[in-house]
Structure formats: structure tokens, C-alpha cells
Structure 1
């Protein structure tokens, strides 16, 4: 059985991302925002999705795709009967006039490498999820696409007639294409592209140099850090779970969700990964996002919000063919209506570094004690509620162990924050909630399994409780932690480190694929309890489930290692980065020292 992989590299600049197939087609790109309609959407519908490709005239072709080292610049080399050429794709990003320059500008540079390749360039954008087909109109050195919400323009030194008519031509000199949304490129084409390419390359390499990335599988960790960075919507500070929608968790499952929004939970994990590598800029920006998003919330926080803080993310199905025919195709996500009470703890832990880390000067951001108190009040107010849990069960409400773990951890963070700002009342309130949360966690313990269950009153296992060990609720050196891990392994370990979230039936039946973040949690838990050799072995195996440029999906099928779910998944890359960091620290300083 052939393994299914996502044959795409992804570029971005913290304003937009683009999925580029190994055949050079931009198969997914949303403008002007992550959550906007696609402008190229062949990923979900090859007929209605449009196309932006640089393919050889011959149908037979071979390609090789790779990133320019330590950057988010992608190269695709194509070999055909008539020759070989390279397409370099990037979204400009660099520091300029005291701010980051990150325009809605997609740049492609095409270079001949060997022979006299004949190529066909197609550029046919779409609007309104494929319902709008713009009219191309030629200018002097550009093509305007009329009928979209904003001015979309392709500036190029390729014959405009060749592009509009999709005629082939011999690639005998370097060609440039700049696609813009809104303000067009008015400067010199060749000089600007080469300048922007050089500046963007320098930006990403300097960003990597300032990251404290561990030596353990450092190249893979660097790629994860780079891909996580472009999931940040810098304008507001939001961080999205994935840049795609409706890629199925398994074929025919109908578990096709839109992940182009900011989940409180996913953001906590992402910020934790950034903090681990010494990058705090993302945390500071998220601080402003969360403050602006929740300032009017009086009763509870939603599990997710739009990237500029929208509260209503109404889920609907749209008439597209779907990825490999998998329907429905959804935009929006009804999870915004769910009760998921772990979010309060995640908000508190996300804010902790701004108070506790001495590398951040306290006066660099204004005090947010009101937000801390309000969040603690929400934990207290909702404490006895059942909720949907982190897996967002649509028809199952329980007292989830994971929720109380984050009540415990969030209250612990608030105790530390209270000490920093000298607020005794806050500290006392947080300490009481921490103690109360621990009592609820203990009610999830199943003596017959020597392990903690998914929720109070049930005995089924859930991979989220691996976090009891990782977050040091259970000290890794204790027998309790080791027993708990064994209990989870017996029910949820698939093979070679792959791990199921849970095995019981949910709203859509029994899960068919393993969840990649759970595999990395498992690796971390193994390292915590001293089973370091196993942790390393399984970590190395999990890396084999990445695609050709080191990107990870949301889900992996146990039987054949196929990639499924939205892609690339921020969660999965957070898992890789944090697991690598955990193992590296254990290797540097074993528990017995």
C-alpha cells in the first residue's frame, strides 16, 4: 500500500502562506488573510481552484523541492526532456524603517539550469472560494485580474501573451513574477526581486541565529521553528492552528475541519515552544491579542477566536470537490460555541513569562492584573461544569482530567505572577484553586489501571493525560508517573511511538488515525520518567512521518504511515520542537545529577 503524503512546501511572511506542490503549482493560498477565501485553491478543487504554475511543456517531468537553508524560501527544481530549471518562491519579509515589511506579495524567480527547457506559465487566480473567475487585462509589463475584491496584479518580464494564452516558451534567461494584492510593484522588477530575496534570506537566517535551538536533531528543530513562525498573524499577534481547511483526518471520515483560527490551547503550546528557544516577541504580541480579544468577555472565554478577534466563526459547508474527493468542505468552525474550560489555565500560563522571565523588563508592558483576576474568576465560576474537553467532543460533556490539570497549572502560574506584582489576594485565591483542582484530578484516578482516566467517573484512557507527567503534576521520578505511563501505553500506543488520542467512539465513530502531537507527548513523557533510550528511538521514528521537506501533518495512519489532517499542523511542529528540547536537556543533565 502506497503511503499518502502531502507533496507541498510552504512559504509565508506572517501575513499569508502559500502551499507549493512539487509540480510548482501554488495549490493553496488565501488572500488577504489566513482566513480569507483562497486565491489559489487547487488543493480542494482542481477545476474551481485556479492555478499558478511553471510546468514543462512535456507531460513527463521529475522534480526536487527543498528550502534554502535556515529560511522559509522554497526551491523547486524541474527536469524534463528539454532541460532543467529552478523556481524559487518566497514571501518577502525583512526589517525596514523600524518595522517588519511583510507585503501581500508572492514572488517567483525562474532560472534555467541545463538545456533549453520549454515551459508553460499559468496564472489564473480565483475569488470567493472559486465562484469568481477574474478577467485578465494586459498592461505594459503586467496583467491585472479584474473582478476580485482588491487589485491583483502579476508583474513579469515574461511575454504577457504567453501567460494569458498559456503558450509555451523557451526559458533562455532568468524570469521574474511578482503577484500583488492591493498596492502593485512599481519599482524595477529584476533589481527588486533580487534585493527582496537577499533581504528575506538574511532575515530568516538571523532569526534562526537568535534562537536557542538545541543540538539534538537541530536541523529538524530549526525547520519546525521556522514553520511555526509563519503561523503567526503578526498584525494582531494571533497564531493559527493550521493554514488549511477540510483536509480529512482520515479518508471518508468527514472529520474535515477549518483550522485557520486562533485556538487558546494551540497558542499556549506554540508560545511555550517559542519561549523554549528564547523568542519572546511572539508572546508579547499575543499578550496584546488576548487582551483585546477578551476585554469585553465577562462570563467565559471561547476556545478559539478569529485572527483579529472575531467571536462568531459560523461553520458552513461550501460546494467544492474536496481534497481527493473528501467532503464536506467547511469554512468556519462551530467549536467557538463549545465549552472548553481548559482555556483559562492556558491563558494564565501564556502570560507567565512576561512576568517571570528576567530577560523581559517589567515596564516594557503594562500590568494586566485585571486580566489575571478575571481569568481566575472564570476558573472558579466554571469549576464544577462539565465541558467538551480539548478534543472538542460535540456530543460528550464530562469532567475532563485535562481541564483540571490546566486549572491546576494556570492557578500555579497565577501564584507566581502574584508574587511578582505583590498581590496577596490574587495569590491566596490562586492557591486555593490550585488545591481544589488537584483534588478533582485525583477523582480521575483508576486504581485497577494505576492510571488517570480521561474524565471523572470513566475508566477509558486519553493521551492528553500524558501532560500530568510533562507538566510535573506527577514527578517523573515517582512510581505513580511510571505506572500512569504504562497504563496509557497499554491502551493507546499504536506502534513505533505513534499514539492515539483515545480509542472510544465519538460523534464520528472510532478514530482511524493516530494524532502526531500525542506521539511527541509520549516521547516527552518517556524522557521524563527516565526511559530516555526509548524516547530517542521513538523520536527518530516519528521524524520519518514528515514529508520531503520536513513538514508534519496533523494525523498519521498506523497501518501505512500516511499523512492526514490539516497541513502543516502547528501542533505537530510544536511537539517536535518541545520533544527535541526535552531530550536534549535530559542528555545534558540526567536526573541523577
Structure 2
């Protein structure tokens, strides 16, 4: 039986107040919001606790990791010291979070941001600013900064500099600056205090960070000015976006969430801001997603172009070209945000979210063969070039060599888009994307954008791939493309090959495949990734991106009414501030997997735009 979807996420209007609940120290994943500055990101629970923050970069070791271990992980707690309810929103058009605490003694508003530097003052290397405003009454507040460096494995050395508490470990230093928020006390391995928030008063607590550089101690005026500057900068960025359809609020929130995953120093886009949040509570499907996956590249570039994010699209494309050059002609499945290729998998000594172990650092999928990535690369280059951007001679040559590589490689089995850790197979979606590789290469060559000397071979191999897919990967029993050659298992990943153009939208096989996926993998708004084993024990929830891919496929097939209905249901599955994780438990509605999940938000944007194109 399908669960009733949770209330719709509302990113610019505070949702109904609720009393935050933790079980054995863990908040629900649905209760997290994210803030960021283009270099790092923090997860903040509904109860005001910063439970995840990695400094100085998105993929750095964590300073706070209570989401993975409430005892050893560390956190920054800030909340009323009396019973309360909490409602939240993002300030409209921003990634600045506002939480309103309501108590029997009065009301307090908390504003959180990882601030963006401005040109008016010397800023710390990284800065978290928390503003506390008394709205009514007199509310006792308590706060505690519990830094635990290096994924909770290193307790801080606490001291004072110029009267300000500072936590240090090796080359890292964090200052705890507080104004009108009580006198900070060094207690054990924490900096803590309490105060009363009176109506009309304002307090500020800021964390200032330095890594192998002098620690800047900001003033209150500078912190408040950067908070205002950060709010204004986000609003300007959001105002420049071009989507105007019926799901604008959800699309804009997805765009803002995606922007938090863009690593500004390089232009790379991380798959998620976290590591090891489980696909099954208590299970071992816990992966580090703080890398940039080639499989997401076409959706990423297309979303940037659809939303009018030209600088982000250009930066991401050139990062992708640079990173892939390091391993050419082979592609890594994923790359580090700085373009590096090493991602050895390690296990961290943390208990894991609600006992979901192991907690992993790195990702062993980096060394897999996933043939679909080559199609994603050529599709991305094709989108970039057909949007009017240049391909220089070296990139054009490498793209042609990638097509040559696929001509000699497409017949191999691979790990597929879902990164199976069992026997390699001839996955249908992988073969479809090999076809896309050669099809896009032929189109670019016809446009005289890449060398065409091997075009006849590309054409022959493209036909050979199509013959294999249509003969071996289409099941007469299912009347559908299936997961792999000579199988009857269903796989929603096949939708990606169709969405990228393996078949035209009016082809009967595309319509039949969409119908078969609805029949076998869909349950209400939820769509499972596949039926079949993948070599990893345990189960998982419904994969949100698959649901949005189904929306897009329905729209392209002309079934707009069904697409709109499913889209409305999926928009309602966001949490109270409009964010999505990787998966949802269809029975409880609980979030599963890392968050915010870039692919979920990318697929939402793509689905909304596809419906817009279909209705036009």
C-alpha cells in the first residue's frame, strides 16, 4: 500500500511549527536543511543543531559530524532551554535559513548562513554566522560548540586569543565569537553559554575558521554586514534565473540547492554534500557522495543552460574537460572536486546514522568500468557546442578519440549506472549510451566541430550497437527494454537512454517501455531503480531521480496529464524547506541517502522544463 505523501515543501514560507524529535541522538533526515557558500556546506536540524560541517571544503574532513555519530561527531547546538516548537524557511530567493522557535515564554528567530566574503573587510577563511532575534517575551537560550576535527577522531585544544575562545588541531583553528549571547565558557571539549533572548534584542554567534593561515577575528559589525551581503547576493543570483513555469518555487529551490553543490574554486558539481547517509537504516549501503560523477554531467549542463546559468555551465564544462583529460581516453566514473582521480575507500570509526555502518570515506566505484559515462560526456559536449559555445582543437580531437575508444570497447560488460559490485553485465542503458556517444560524435563531425576522419567507422558501430540493443535487450515478454541483455528484469535507468535520444519520442518501443516501468517499478509517486541483485546486501528506498525521469518520459511521449499529476505528487515529497535526499522510504516517507542530492534536484528541473516544452 502506498503511503500518503508528506505535506508540500515550502521554501519561501515557513511551514507549520513542529516539535523536533530525536531518537537516540539522531534527527530525522527529513528535518535537515542545508546552507553553504560555494566552498563548503552545513546541515542544520530543525532543533537548531549544526550536525554536519566540513571545513575548509565540501570534501574536507568534518568539524561537526553528529549526523553520523551524536556522541563522537561534534555539533553546534543553539536552541531554547525550555520546551518549544520550530518552523523554518529559507529567506526568499536565498540559501539563508530562518528558524522560528516558539515557546511558552516567547518567540525567537534564528538566522543561519555560511557567509560570502565581501570587498569591505578582511574576512576569515570560512565563516558561519548565526543571528538570534527576540521577537516576543523572554526566552532562555543555550548554545554549545563541540568541535571534533577529522571526522570526530580528534578533540580540540581549547584556548583564548584576544579574549576569544579558539579551538585548534594541527593547522586548523576555529574562533567562537559571541555578542550579547552570554559569556562563553570552556567546558571539557566544548565552548558553551546561555542567555535570555528578550523581545527587540539581537545576539550573534559566529565561527571563524582558518587553515594554514592567520586566524581573522571578525567584529560583530563585519559579521552582520556579511550576513546582509550574503542574503543580497543569493537574491540577485536567484532573480537572474529564467524558469517561469508552474513549479517555479520548487525549481528555484532545486537551483539554489544545486548551486550549493557547485564547488566554486573549480566549477565541479558534487553529487551530494554528505557521506554515508544510508539507503537503508541499519544497512551497509552507505556511500561517500562528495565527488563529481560523469553520469550527472549532461543533466547538470542542461539544467544550467535551461535556467540561464551561463557562467556555471561554462565553468563546469571546462572543469569536466580538464578532469577527463587526466585519464583520457578512459573516463573515471567520478573525479574529486579538484579534478583528482584518487578516491580510495576507507572506513571511519563512527557509529553511522542510526547505527548504519560502515561510515565510508572515498568511493570504490571510481575504478569501475561504466560505459554510459562516455555517452554522458559526448552528450554534455554536444549540449555545450549546440548552445553556441566553442570547442577548441584539443578538446575536439579528444572527443573524436573518445568515439574511437567506444568503437573498440562497447562490447565489453560493465558495472552499469547503478555501480553493481557483483558480476559485470551487458547493461541496456550502458549500450544505449554507447550509441549516444557515436551519434553525438557524428553530429558534431557533421557540424565540422570535431575531426570526421573516422565517421564511417562510428556509423557502422552505431548500427551494430542498435542491432545488439534491439535484438538482445528488448524483451518480447515484457514488451520493453530490460535491464540487461537476455534478461527480463526491469530497470528505470533505461529511461535515461531514451531521454538522451536513443529513440524518438513517438517510437512504439519507447511508449511500451515507459508503460512497463510504470507497471513493474512504480508505486504511486515512487519508482524503484531496478528489480534484481547488485552484489550489496540489504535493501533501499525509492530512488527519487527515477520518478522525475518517468515524469520527463511521460511528457515527451505526449502523456502530459499523467506527467503533471506525477510531478505534483513528487513536488509534495520535498521536506518543509523544499529539499530532497537521494531516496524515500515509500512506507514512512522518511528520507534515505545523502542530501541534498544533486541528481534528485537536477531531475526535478529537467522534468519541469520537459513539461513546459510539451505544453508549448
User: TM (normalized to structure 2)?
Assistant: 0.89
Aligned length: 580
2:601 match: 573
User: How far 1:298 sits from its partner (Å)?
Assistant: 4.3
1:391 match: 418
2:137 match: 115
- Residues 395 and 484 (structure 1 numbering): CA distance in 2 closer, same or farther, change over 3 Å? same
2:482 match: 453
1:503 aligned residue (516, 522, 531): 531
User: How far 1:21 sits from its partner (Å)?
Assistant: 0.7
2:437 match: 410
1:473 match: 502
User: How far 1:382 sits from its partner (Å)?
Assistant: 1.5
Q: Is the 8 A contact 1:162 1:169 kept in 2?
A: no
C-alpha distance in 1 between matches for 2:602 and 2:214: 36
- Residues 371 and 154 (structure 1 numbering): CA distance in 2 closer, same or farther, change over 3 Å? farther
- Residues 285 and 150 (structure 1 numbering): CA distance in 2 closer, same or farther, change over 3 Å? same
User: How far 1:516 sits from its partner (Å)?
Assistant: 0.6
1:230 match: 260
Q: Is the 8 A contact 1:401 1:455 kept in 2?
A: yes
2:316 match: 286
1:248 match: 278
1:56 aligned residue (80, 90, 96): 80
C-alpha distance in 1 between matches for 2:85 and 2:185: 23
C-alpha distance in 2 between matches for 1:39 and 1:76: 22
- Residues 316 and 501 (structure 1 numbering): CA distance in 2 closer, same or farther, change over 3 Å? same
Q: Is the 8 A contact 1:68 1:74 kept in 2?
A: yes
2:13 match: none
Structure 1 segments of 4+ aligned residues over 6 angstroms from their partners = none
Q: How does 1:136-147 map to 2 (within 5 A)?
A: 136-140=158-162, 142-147=164-169
**1:479-518 CA distance string (max 9 Å, x none):** 2222121222222112x23111112233235744211100
2:330 match: 300
SS of aligned partner of 1:215 = coil
1:130 aligned residue (152, 155, 162): 152
- Residues 426 and 34 (structure 1 numbering): CA distance in 2 closer, same or farther, change over 3 Å? farther
1:77 aligned residue (100, 104, 112): 100
C-alpha distance in 1 between matches for 2:42 and 2:537: 33
Unaligned runs of 5+ in 2: 7-27
Q: Is the 8 A contact 2:30 2:590 kept in 1?
A: no
C-alpha distance in 2 between matches for 1:103 and 1:585: 43
1:214 lines up with 2:244 in the alignment: yes
Range 1-10 or range 467-476, more displaced? 1-10
- Residues 137 and 158 (structure 1 numbering): CA distance in 2 closer, same or farther, change over 3 Å? farther
C-alpha distance in 2 between matches for 1:422 and 1:340: 24
Range 483-492 or range 22-31, more displaced? 483-492
2:403 aligned residue (376, 396, 399): 376
1:538 aligned residue (559, 566, 575): 566
**1:157-204 CA distance string (max 9 Å, x none):** 246743535332222431222212216775762322232222222222
C-alpha distance in 2 between matches for 1:128 and 1:422: 46
C-alpha distance in 1 between matches for 2:525 and 2:596: 20
C-alpha distance in 2 between matches for 1:276 and 1:194: 34
User: How far 1:82 sits from its partner (Å)?
Assistant: 2.8
**1:60-91 CA distance string (max 9 Å, x none):** 12111110001111011112233221111112
2:511 match: 482
SS of aligned partner of 1:32 = coil
Unaligned runs of 5+ in 1: none
1:195 match: 225
C-alpha distance in 1 between matches for 2:568 and 2:346: 39
C-alpha distance in 2 between matches for 1:510 and 1:129: 26
- Residues 416 and 196 (structure 1 numbering): CA distance in 2 closer, same or farther, change over 3 Å? farther
- Residues 152 and 374 (structure 1 numbering): CA distance in 2 closer, same or farther, change over 3 Å? farther
**1:442-482 CA distance string (max 9 Å, x none):** 13111222211111121211101123432232222232222
Q: Is the 8 A contact 2:301 2:317 kept in 1?
A: no
C-alpha distance in 1 between matches for 2:29 and 2:63: 23
C-alpha distance in 2 between matches for 1:294 and 1:33: 22
User: TM (normalized to structure 1)?
Assistant: 0.92
SS of aligned partner of 1:76 = strand
